[in-house]
Structures are given as structure tokens and as C-alpha cells.
Homo-oligomer: A and B are copies of this chain.
């Protein structure tokens, strides 16, 4: 209540790191700094291990707090404007300012992810608020890749209070998207920070959740949004990995230059060289399931496709029918002067990507078991037929949008290098496999942009699972 954090259940590595930063002054605390300096590294390690081993506090509704708890009641129709703001920032972010949702890194319900993204739920609101302020005023190290420092500086006082209160008083394990949809649009945040990669003012703005229609159409649109953000849960049987649609289409399909749904919707039907005929939007959606989700296509007319099409349609409200709407897809970076290179790409990956996606590219789950960071290669990733398995597409997505909330960080060379590195690892077979890698490459991957069928570090890509590099 006074702003002292709960330590039980936090990752040992995270706790040790904080103690080191209290000791060296990169994290300020009149109480903790002298204590941290008085402890030896072995003592710090022992304490961190002790606290990490204790049971932490899980998220609210459905776990410790359970239905009918205060948190549950607050998420109902009568909850306060502060709660609604916190709920929205926590679960949706404010991508117009490049503020990701808290749960994108800290896991569903703020349950925590790995060693670098501690649980938020169960921490006192006063502590969370204090830390966001510390990042704002520079008295706490901005953290890995400066992520939290940059994000905190985009939050207003009201934002800080709301999000701290949301997690501090027991966030629901699963956000109530319908409540979020009913709530008022988020107030504008602070003025844009210098260097923030905001979508150009010219790009289309999809309508706010609060404008969702009522009745059956509204229910279908909301179902589409839920499928989009929790694909494994809402489209079981059609997904072969644990990715979400929103893994590649940020801000639940709203973000310009991150393959927004509104731009895709108004661009179909269209001819696709991928399958040599005119595809409707529904058929295009099927492709995502087959390739990016490494699953199988829901049949045309399936409620899953209808809901996703309805959600996309609604996001496009007011957009003109136009196959080339600004903001569509990903803006492709220029080909760099040096040929893309695996080794240089590996260095970029270690520096900018591994924190979230893991050194093995396998992604990370949250403490509650949900997928937090998608697998970039390996059995749990998109397959060789996915658009993201094309180096050009991957370079474009990465440069525009990665690291999360820091799009525009990589130069053209870095983007192509790291995309080449990513797509030089084994991943699930192309579902169009013709029986041999050579034939499949000739028919579907005969492009400088595809590593399929090429040999990297002795392994023939497309030839089957191997230990990741």
C-alpha cells in the first residue's frame, strides 16, 4: 500500500538485476540503495532465488480473485472512467502514440514473461505508479533497449494512475473486450515524443471501438476482434501454432504499415500471383490460416471467416475502395548495398530481437501459459508458405514495426540482414510441398527473397526439422 513491491514469484534474474542497479545507482531508492550496496553478489543471488521460489500473485478474475471479486465487479458496465482507461491501455495500448498494450510484453493479465518482463498484477498500485514516474523522470534505468523509459514518457499523469490502478487492484486474467468496446475512446495522450514513429497523418484512421454497431452485426464484429487477438482460443482446429493474427497485424489490425485490416479489406478481390487467380477477401483470410497460422483453412462461409471479414469491414468504415490505400501492408525498405548476411543478421537479432523472441527464436510464453512473444522459426512458427517467410516481407515488417513500439530503429541493411537471419532457419514445411525440396522451391520459391531449398550452415532449408542455430 505504501509502494513497496511484492517480490514473491518475480524472476530471480530480474530481482538480481534490480539489486545491482540499486547498488550502482541506475535505480534510485533511499531505502534500497544502501541495502543493495551492503550485500555481496552471492547474498543477492540467494535472496533472489528465495523470493523467486515463493508463490506469486496471479491475476484477478478467474484465478485468485475469482468471479464476483472486486476486480470482476469493476470490469462490469458500471466501472469507472479510470478503470476503463487502465483496462484499455493495459490490453490495447495506444498505438497512435506507439504505446503497446502492457500485456503484449508482460503477458495476458499482466502475469509476467520470462526474466525481463515481471508480473504487474499483484504489485501495489502505488509501486507501479512510482516506477512509471521514475522512468519518466529518469531516476530508474530505462531498462532493456530503453523500452520502458520511452513508453513511460508517452503516458500522461492520468494514464499512469489508471494503468497502475488497473494492475494494482487485480486485473482480470482475460480482459473484457466487450467492456473495452463499450468504454469511451481513450483520451489523447501527451504530445508526441520526438522520434516516435507515428503513422503518417495521411493514413486512414479506423473507427474507435466505441463506435462498434449494436446487435448481431456488433456481436459478429466483436467476435472477429476476439478471434484476431486470441486466435488459438477462438479458432481451434484451424491453427497449427500459437501465433495470433495480431502478432503480425499490430494494434489488432489497426496499425498503418503493419498490414492493417482496413487497407486489406478495401484491396480485395484482387489477383494474387501466389495462386494465380483473383482472390476474394475471404480466400485471402484462408491463406493466413494455412500459412501464417500453419493450420488449415476454415471453409468459406464458416462463422470464423465471416466474423473476421466483418471485423475487417467495420475497421474500414469510411475508407475508400482502393487497392493502394496509404498504410497498406508494410513499406518495403530499399535493398541495401551489401548483400544480406546471416552473420550480421545474427548480431542484429541478438541486440534487438532476442530479448523478447528468445535467442532460439522460439518466442516466450507468459506465466499464465498464454503466448506472449511469437516464435520466429522452428516448429511453433509460421510455415515456409507464409508471407513472412519471404525475406522482403519480413524486412519490411521488421523495419516498420520492430522492436515493438520502436519501429524505424533498424536501417535498411540491418532490416534485410536480420530478416535473412530469421528466414535462414528451419520452420514447418510448406503445405504445398511437392515431394521434394527442389521441386517445391522451383514452383513456389524461385525468388531471391526465399531461403527455402537453400543450404545454410550445412542444412538444406525445407528439408526438415533440425536443431535451431
Question: Do the beta carbons of A320 and B322 come within 8 Å of each other?
Answer: no
Interface flag for A412 (CB, 8 Å): no
Interface flag for A271 (CB, 8 Å): yes
Query: CA A270 – CA B220 in complex, angstroms?
Result: 9
CB-defined contacts of A282 to chain B, threshold 8 Å: 280, 282, 300-301
Q: Which among A142-150, A310-318, A393-401 touches the partner chain?
A: A310-318
Please tell me which one of the listed residues B217, B277, B309, B322 contacts residue A216 in the complex, with CB atoms under 8 A apart: B277
Q: A33-77 CB contact bits vs B (8 Å, 1 = yes)?
A: 000000000000000000000000000000000000000000000
Query: CA A215 – CA B316 in complex, angstroms?
Result: 26
Please tell me which one of the listed residues B266, B299, B309, B320 contacts residue A280 in the complex, with CB atoms under 8 A apart: B309
Looking at chain A's contact residues, is the secondary structure mostly helix, strand, loop, or mixed? mixed
Question: Do the beta carbons of B300 and A269 come within 8 Å of each other?
Answer: no
Quote the shortest CB–CB distance from A313 to chain B (angstroms). Answer: 5
Question: Do the beta carbons of A215 and B322 come within 8 Å of each other?
Answer: no
Query: CA A396 – CA B220 in complex, angstroms?
Result: 30
Interface flag for A268 (CB, 8 Å): yes
Question: Do the beta carbons of B220 and A271 come within 8 Å of each other?
Answer: yes
Question: Do the beta carbons of B310 and A321 come within 8 Å of each other?
Answer: no
Question: Do the beta carbons of A280 and B265 come within 8 Å of each other?
Answer: no
Query: CA A318 – CA B318 in complex, angstroms?
Result: 10
Query: Known: A220-B278, A278-B216, A278-B217. Contact between A318 and B320, CB under 8 A?
Result: yes
Query: CA A220 – CA B279 in complex, angstroms?
Result: 10
Q: A75-107 CB contact bits vs B (8 Å, 1 = yes)?
A: 000000000000000000000000000000000
Please tell me which one of the listed residues B278, B306, B310 contacts residue A310 in the complex, with CB atoms under 8 A apart: B278
List 27 A-B pairs, Cβ < 8 Å.
Answer: A216-B271, A216-B277, A216-B278, A217-B269, A217-B270, A217-B278, A220-B271, A220-B278, A269-B306, A269-B309, A278-B307, A278-B310, A280-B301, A280-B306, A280-B310, A282-B282, A283-B301, A299-B300, A300-B300, A313-B321, A316-B321, A317-B321, A318-B320, A318-B321, A318-B322, A319-B320, A319-B321
